[in-house]
Amino acid sequence: MRISGKTAEEVGFEKIGRQQSQLHTLKIVALDELLVKHDESAADNHLISQTCLSITSLDLGWNLVETLSEVASICAQLDKLRSLTIRYVYCTRTS
């Protein structure tokens, strides 16, 4: 692969891709600046706990989380969670 006239070699991207496709093995998840919104009333809300069993660190910064109860709902499904980052959460609720 050539980038800006320089030759670059991709090393290990296949392994990383395989690891990321296995959501149940992910330990550190950074979702910052991805405009994530959580719907507490969704029928499939329990899927987080079934899909992401091993998460120990979660970054939800710069997302569309409206309330801390939404954050609590997500965290309650992550039994192994030890670290949570919620800096700069954008609240969309108006009174």
pLDDT, one tens digit per residue, over 5-58 is 777 766 666 776 776 677 788 899 888 888 888 776 766 667 787 888 899 999
Question: Taking the domains of the chain in order of start, what are their residue ranges?
Answer: 26-95
Backbone conformation region of residue 26, classed left if phi is above 0, alpha if psi is from -120 to 50, else beta: beta
Q: What is the pTM of this model?
A: 0.66
What distance lies between CA 92 and its chain's CA centroid?
19
